[in-house]
Structure 1
Amino acid sequence: MESILKVKNYLVDNAEKIIRDMTDTANDNHNPKLSPEELEQFIQKNTQFLVLLADSLQGSRESAEEELKQWSKQTGEEEAKLFRRFSNIMKPYPNRRLIFLQKISQISMEHGLSTEDVIKVNNRFCYLMDVSMAETISAYEMYRDKSIKDHQREINALSAPIVPIQDGVAVLPLIGAIDYTRVQHLLNYVVPTIPDLKIDYLIIDFSGTMAIDMEIAQHIFTIHNVLGLLGIHVLFSGIRPNLSMTVVKAGIDFTSFNTYGSVKMAINSLK
């Protein structure tokens, strides 16, 4: 145990030099080249990682695991914020891992560790590296998923604006593909704001929509019924032939709706 603690102390005291040596070796083996700034960030980050691994030789595996998870979560989120492809991060990992374990084995033997202790050190490090990688991937994916949802919410808001055009009349232009997420945004965020606009007529315009499926069509016409109960008259405009076929296939009775070829025609009908 005393020899293992010597290795631990050596790794902590010389962590940055060890990482720089291993980074030079990795670059010699044709790993992706980094800019000077990226290289320095990489070295400092991995120096922290090596210190955490080294400290695990003195404490329990469980406590080291928790510390590494926190470090890895932060690392995963930082990579996600930079919009780096995780495949590019993972590609050099096997080679760097091999170089790392070779270096640790060399240092362990130089400090007089037995073969059994060298294996013990390597096993501990291998396990913690796997834990770290799994946590990094998880944090990366969670951050990216949240970011994508936030961006989608912004896109939904921008692609379904309610535009007042005259007293008591507004237009809701539907732009782009209408999917389940967009419809839920309409139901949960757009429809509840319509009564506050003090309008009598809402024109839902499909001119910017290329396609919707039958389930989505039913949701769209549910919006019609909900607004009708609120005393708002809904008119549809710009429904293309292919959208009309979808509506018919969905079993929706078109005869109960006011439909027009364009927004202009719908507005003229109100006069």
Structure 2
Amino acid sequence: MEAIWKVEQYLIDNAEKIIRDITEMALKNVDFEITDEMLELGIKQNVEFLVLLAKSFKETDEKAAEELIKWSKKSGEQQAANFGRFSTLIKPYAKNRLLYLDYITQISIDHGLATKEVTMINNRICYLMDVSLTETLFAYETYRDELMYERQREINELSAPIVPIQKGIAVLPLIGVLDYPRVQHLLNNVVPTIPSLEIEHLIIDFSGILTIDKEVAQNIFVIHNVLELLGIHLMITGMRPQISMAVVHGGIDFTSFHTYGSVKQAIDSINNRQ
């Protein structure tokens, strides 16, 4: 086992040189552009991985994996931020693992390791690389999901602005697909701001909405009831034929709502009352 400890120390002492050598060969398997910043980040992460690998020779697979999982979570987030698509990372994985194994195997042979010891090190490399790949995937998905959620939140904010058009009158134009998350955004983030705008009449314009379902339509009733309690007169405009049909087929009763064909018609109705 003494020879294995020598290999361990050699790998730790020469980690950066080894990784730069392997990286130079691995770049031949890459068919996408890598910036200098991405390259240096990749080298740094792989140096850390090699040191963890070398230190794991004295540990069980389970203990080695435990330490590696912590590192892989951070690595996955960094790689997601830099590479964008996981397929970009996974495509050269098999060829690069062979390069890694060949390089470390030669170091093991040069240090006089027996076949059984070389096999043990190679098995540990394969095991930890697979653990790293799995945990990196989990971290990558988590990072991308959080990024998508944040972008959707920003889209919801931008796509549901309250636009004052006359004293006491404002329009809330809706665009795209009116799904459950957007309705919740309206209820939780948009409706609470309305009282501070000194609005007496709010026109929700559906002319830019592509589709609506029964659950979402029922939440419109919630918005209607909340605004009524606040003393705000709600009007709905721009219900396109396909939206109207979806409402009817869903058994949803919009007859209690004040509906108009256009925003102009709704404004004219308000002005005629005054």
What TM-score, normalized to structure 2?
Answer: 0.90
- Name the aligned partner's letter for residue 25 of structure 2: T
- Name the aligned partner's letter for residue 125 of structure 1: I
Establish whether residue 32 from structure 1 lines up as the match of residue 28 from structure 2. no
Establish whether residue 55 from structure 1 lines up as the match of residue 59 from structure 2. no
SS in 2 for 1:150: helix
Confirm or deny: 8 A CA contact 1:217 1:250 kept in the other structure: no
Q: Distance in 2 between matches of 1:105 and 1:269?
A: 83
Cα deviation for residue 59 of structure 1 reads 4.5
87-96 or 210-219: bigger deviation: 210-219
Cα deviation for residue 54 of structure 1 reads 0.9
- Name the aligned partner's letter for residue 185 of structure 1: H
Q: Distance in 1 between matches of 2:126 and 2:23?
A: 19
CA offsets 1:139-173 (integer angstroms, 9 cap, x no match): 11111111110110010011011112222221111
CA offsets 1:87-143 (integer angstroms, 9 cap, x no match): 010000111111111222222122121222112112222221122111111111111
Cα deviation for residue 62 of structure 1 reads 4.6
Show the counterpart of 2:2.
2
Q: Distance in 2 between matches of 1:267 and 1:231?
A: 18
- Name the aligned partner's letter for residue 108 of structure 1: S
Q: Distance in 2 between matches of 1:156 and 1:150?
A: 10
Q: Given the superposition, is the C-alpha separation of residues 15 and 33 from structure 1 closer, same or farther in structure 2, using an over 3 Å criterion?
A: farther
Show the counterpart of 2:240.
240
Show the counterpart of 1:202.
202
Confirm or deny: 8 A CA contact 2:214 2:252 kept in the other structure: no
Cα deviation for residue 83 of structure 1 reads 4.8
Show the counterpart of 2:106.
106
Show the counterpart of 1:74.
74
SS in 2 for 1:199: coil
Cα deviation for residue 33 of structure 1 reads 6.0
Cα deviation for residue 60 of structure 1 reads 5.1
- Name the aligned partner's letter for residue 74 of structure 1: K
79-88 or 173-182: bigger deviation: 79-88
Confirm or deny: 8 A CA contact 2:171 2:204 kept in the other structure: yes
Show the counterpart of 1:177.
177
Within 5 A, what are the aligned runs for 1:214-229?
214-229=214-229
124-133 or 234-243: bigger deviation: 124-133
Show the counterpart of 2:259.
259
Q: Distance in 2 between matches of 1:265 and 1:34?
A: 55
Q: Distance in 2 between matches of 1:23 and 1:81?
A: 20
Q: Distance in 2 between matches of 1:259 and 1:199?
A: 18
SS in 2 for 1:164: strand
Show the counterpart of 2:132.
132
Cα deviation for residue 174 of structure 1 reads 0.7
- Name the aligned partner's letter for residue 105 of structure 1: T
- Name the aligned partner's letter for residue 81 of structure 1: A
Q: Given the superposition, is the C-alpha separation of residues 34 and 110 from structure 1 closer, same or farther in structure 2, using an over 3 Å criterion?
A: farther
Cα deviation for residue 11 of structure 1 reads 1.1
Confirm or deny: 8 A CA contact 2:176 2:210 kept in the other structure: yes
SS in 1 for 2:187: helix
Cα deviation for residue 195 of structure 1 reads 2.5
> How many residues end up aligned between the 2 structures?
270
Cα deviation for residue 55 of structure 1 reads 1.5
Show the counterpart of 2:96.
96
Establish whether residue 43 from structure 1 lines up as the match of residue 32 from structure 2. no
Cα deviation for residue 36 of structure 1 reads 6.5
Cα deviation for residue 242 of structure 1 reads 1.2
Q: Distance in 1 between matches of 2:75 and 2:27?
A: 22
Aligned residues: percent identity? 60
Confirm or deny: 8 A CA contact 1:26 1:99 kept in the other structure: yes
Dislocated runs of 4+, deviation >4 Å: 33-36, 59-63
Q: Which runs of 5+ in 2 are unaligned?
A: none
Cα deviation for residue 86 of structure 1 reads 0.6
User: Superposition RMSD on alpha carbons, in Å?
Assistant: 2.0
SS in 2 for 1:160: coil
SS in 2 for 1:245: helix
Confirm or deny: 8 A CA contact 1:203 1:236 kept in the other structure: yes
SS in 2 for 1:11: helix
